[in-house]
Amino acid sequence: MKIQKVLTLAAPVIFSMTLLNPTAVAAQSRFDEQFVSYPTYSGNDLELLVDNSGTHFRLWSPKAQEARVNLYDNGHTGSPYQTLSMKADRANGTWTASVPEKLYGKFYTFQIMADGKWKDETPGVWAKAVGVNGKRAAIIDLAKTDPEGWATDKGPAVKNFSDVIVYEMHHRDMSMHPSSGIANKGKFLALTEEGTVSPLGEKTGIDHLKELGITHVHILPSYDYNSVDEMNLQNNTYNWGYDPQNYNAPEGSYSTNPSDPETRIREMKEMVKALHDAGIGVIMDVVYNHTAENDGSNFELTAPGYYHRHWDDGKYSDASGCGNETASDRQQMRDYIINSTKYWADEYHIDGFRFDLMAIHDTETMNEVAAELKKINPDIFVYGEGWTAGDSPLAVDRRALKENVSKMKDIAVFSDDLRDAVKGHYSNAEDRGFATGKPGNEETVKIGIVAATPHPQVDYKKGNNSKFPYAESPEMIVNYVSCHDDLSLTDKLHKSMAGEPEKNMLEAAKLAQTIVFTSQGTPFMFAGEEIFRDKKGVHNSYKSPDSINAIDWNNKTKYHDQFEYYKGLTALRKAHPAFRMTSADDIARHLVFDKIDSAKTPNLISYSLRDHANGDSWNEIKLVFNGASEPQTVNIKKGDWKIVAKDGKISPAEGLGTTKGGKITLAPYSALILARE
Ligand code: CA
């Protein structure tokens, strides 16, 4: 069966409630105990090494009865021109074979014998280049895939992770629509094209990203995945890519020639370089938590049973909701995740990693990942989904859960607290949130504003999702109101505000993102929301066609006011460190909420960032959020205030005028931002 990603970002309250009680969880399964004694090997010559003495293969497979390498002239057809028997190196569980020639241009697969039978061919788990559809590994000279200037290529410097502004995008969403004006539609190369415009003359693609002012793109899975047939690209099949096949090679359908193993590598590097040249970092979505196939996965075909977790009866456990889950708590799998991310950071200059269903991994692994990546580049940003999509044999206290984030150093988690409180519950389309007029979410929004850190004015017991300050530092939190999963913000507003004029939805969108962009922690947005993109109401659009998923760039003209507002949000955040504090103590000291009785005046939050917070040039910043469908009036302390944002307009540098304070009325669904020197 082909497993598809069905459950994704659904921070399932039902699981986190039960899983928080460690006694309710089964011990590591008895079936899995057999793997503890396996010898391990993580040398950098795993599977393939080409040097002056020839081509060398080393497959890790401790329990194989025999192992062999099939050599091919071609990436997907024909029989092997030669098959090499491999020799066991029992001390470290590997099998080796060598030939004296450099086999550049050739392809290979491994096969192992288990229970007296040869298993299916596999490119192994460490293929860094593959033939079309990833069935055979390719032998290439990686140095030849480097674009011009690669040796000096570098991502943007990141002083603190709270300085990062994340823009989450899928390659096809960005460029497939005819209005993108981009030639290489749906390809890595799309983001290398400068000067592209919509039919109405608005910048698109990489120029649009520069204009918007985000600091990092977060690209949906870009390693080789399973679901798109790379030999039938004319069918234009769409998939998010949460069905991993080869973790260490780029996806072929995003290249201009999937049959040439070098092309996808070179083109992905060209994309990274173009973004770096534009001052934009590249974060990759990684899905080490499960594989597309169970018995047919490369993990299972090389070391049966080892890389996945199981229940006592030997059945695959399935915390991913996609049929299986991997076993980061086992040394060879842990090393695999560490070495694979290091490879992407080294070879592709990747600036960050977003871990899908990160809580399937253990905190120890995640800490080692972050520590090892720091050695390559201290600016690498690691964050993930601090939840699972099902139960796991891994003990709850070991899981890289949101609630365990304080056990992890230099790792951030998504705040589903802010997400659901601002716009309404992710799975209930009609449910409204703070920014769309539903009372009762004020305290949870405040949890998001202080980045889930301890704060004397936040009552965590009233939180909708989490009941305690789980983050020790704001750099552990990624704030957002929507992402690729579930309804886009635009669709959510259309569903939950049905019957209201679209203008109200546009204002609510601005308010929702104002909360995200001014909150402590790292802001994260879904591509195209700045021009009110939708997904035509489709919730789980993982394999919906481009007609659902592609961004219509004509929206940039239609919703130009929206785009200008988002530009204002990125500019405001980048100019003012008060929104980017780096310690919980600073937040507790400088962020002061005004006393509002939410029972009497719901959907109103007001707070100050005081005393030049985090070295800000502004002495005090006042933020007031009115999520009600009616205007609300607040009393602002007397002073010489600059109006930074009001009633759906924003102007961080020049301002929208001044006020002496006193009574100020906010339009429905709007934010007020004032600043004084
Ligand atoms: Ca593929």
Closest CA to 524 of 5, 13, 157, 161: 161
Residue 15 scores a pLDDT above 50: no
Confidence band of 4 (pLDDT split at 50, 70, 90) = very low
Long-range contacts of 144-147, Cβ-Cβ distance < 8 Å, separation of 24 or more: 144/262, 145/262, 145/265, 145/266, 145/269, 146/266, 146/269, 147/266, 147/269, 147/270, 147/273
CA of 262 to the centre of ligand 1 (A): 14
Place of tokens 């793997």: 35
Tell me the CA distances in angstroms from 570 to 184, 563, 620, 642, 672, one per residue in order: 28, 11, 19, 18, 16
Amino acid at 652: P
Distances in Å between the Cα of 274 and the Cα atoms of 156, 346, 347, 410 are: 12, 17, 16, 27
Alpha-helical (H) ranges within 427-529 are 442-449, 489-496, 502-518
pLDDT level of residue 23 (50, 70, 90 thresholds)? very low
Q: How far apart are CA 245 and CA 486, in angstroms?
A: 24
Between the CA of 231 and the centroid of ligand 1 the distance, in Å, is 10
295 Cβ neighbours under 8 A, 6+ residues apart: none
pLDDT band at 291 (very low <50, low <70, confident <90, very high): very high
Tell me what the mean pLDDT of segment 280-291 comes to. Answer: 98
Ligand 1 mean position, distance from CA 131 (Å): 10
The pLDDT of 30-54, averaged and rounded, is 93
Q: Give the mean pLDDT of the chain.
A: 95
Q: Three-state SS string across 576-633, please?
A: CHHHHCCCHHHHHHHEEECCCCCCCCCCEEEEEECCCHHHCCCCEEEEEEECCCCCEE
pLDDT interval class at 29 (50, 70, 90): confident
The alpha carbon of 225 and the centre of ligand 1 are apart by a number of angstroms equal to 4
Contact 295, 364 (CB under 8 A): no
pLDDT for residue 283: 98
Tell me what percent of the residues of the chain surpass a pLDDT of 90: 94
* 24-33, 389-398, 601-610: segment of lowest average pLDDT: 24-33
CB contact burial 2-21 (16+ within 10 A = b; e otherwise): ebbbebbbbbbeebbeebbe
Over the stretch 557-589, which tens digit does the pLDDT of each residue have?
Answer: 999 999 999 999 999 999 999 999 999 999 999
pLDDT value of position 511? 98
- The answer to whether the CB of 231 falls within 8 A of the CB of 217 is no
Distance 258 CA to ligand 1 centre (A): 9
**What is the distance in A from the centroid of ligand 1 to the CA of 45?**
24
**How many angstroms does the Cα of residue 243 sit away from the middle of ligand 1?**
9
Residue 179: pLDDT band (50, 70, 90) is very high
- Reply yes or no on whether the pLDDT at 33 is more than 90: no
Residue 72 near residue 108, CB atoms below 8 Å? yes
- The pLDDT assigned to 19 comes to 38
**DSSP secondary structure string, 228-291?**
S-TT-GGG-------SEEEEEEE-GGGSS-TTSHHHHHHHHHHHHHHHHHTT-EEEEEE-TT--
| Structure-derived torsion over alpha carbons of residues 539, 540, 543, 547, reported in degrees to the nearest 10 | 10
Reported as a single tens digit per residue, the pLDDT across 133-177 is 999 999 999 999 999 999 999 999 999 999 999 999 999 999 999
* CB contact at 8 A, 400 and 384: yes
581 phi/psi in degrees, rounded to 5: -65, 155
Q: How far is it, in rounded angstroms, from Cα 577 to Cα 477?
A: 16
Q: What is the pLDDT of residues 90-105, one digit of tens each?
A: 999 999 999 999 999 9
Examine the pLDDT at 20 and tell me if it is beyond 60: no
Distance CA 539, CA 528 (A): 16
The owner of tokens 């695999």 is 336
What sign for the dihedral angle of Cα 302, 303, 308, 311?
positive
Q: Hey, which residues does 649 pair with through a beta bridge?
A: 646
CA–centroid distance, 268 to ligand 1, in Å, is 14
- What is the average per-residue pLDDT within 510-535? 98
Is the dihedral angle over the CA atoms 229, 230, 234, 240 positive or is it negative? positive
pLDDT for 25 equals 35
pLDDT tens for each residue of 111-141: 999 999 999 999 999 999 999 999 999 999 9
Instruction: Round to whole Å and give the CA distance between 517 and 481.
Output: 10
CB 159 within 8 A of CB 475: no
Show the DSSP H helices in 122-230 as ranges.
Answer: 171-175, 205-212
657: phi then psi, degrees, rounded to nearest 5: 130, -170
Residue 192 Cα, ligand 1 centroid: separation in angstroms? Answer: 22
pLDDT, residue 655, reads 98
| Residues 233, 545: Cα–Cα separation, whole Å | 13
DSSP assigned state of 473: S
List pLDDT tens digits, range 523-550: 999 999 999 999 999 999 999 999 999 9
Structure tokens at 313: 């009866």
Spatial contact of 457 and 444, defined as CB atoms under 8 Å apart: no
CB 588 within 8 A of CB 475: no
Between the CA of 359 and the centroid of ligand 1 the distance, in Å, is: 26
**Residues, CB within 5 angstroms of ligand 1 (ion):** 224, 252
Task: State the virtual CA torsion across 228, 550, 512, 502 in degrees, nearest 10.
Answer: -140
Query: Cβ–Cβ contacts within 10 Å for residue 201, how many?
Result: 9
Q: What is the rounded end-to-end Cα distance, in angstroms, of the chain?
A: 63
pLDDT tens-digit map of 364-385: 999 999 999 999 999 999 999 9
Query: Rounded to the nearest whole angstrom, what is the distance from the C-alpha of residue 226 to the centroid of ligand 1?
Result: 5
Distance 244 CA to ligand 1 centre (A): 8
Residue 36's pLDDT is 83
Contacts of residue 419, Cβ cutoff 8 Å, sequence gap at least 6 = 426, 479, 480, 481, 482
pTM of the model: 0.95
Give residue 557's pLDDT.
Answer: 98
**Ligand 1 center–CA 230 separation, angstroms:** 6
Distance 135 CA to ligand 1 centre (A): 9
Count of Cβ atoms closer than 10 Å to residue 300 Cβ: 21
Residue 30 gets which letter from DSSP?
A: T
d(C-alpha 112, C-alpha 663), whole Å? 76
Give catalytic residues, as residue numbers. 356, 385
pLDDT at residue 10 is higher than 50: no
> Ligand 1 center to residue 472 CA distance, Å?
39
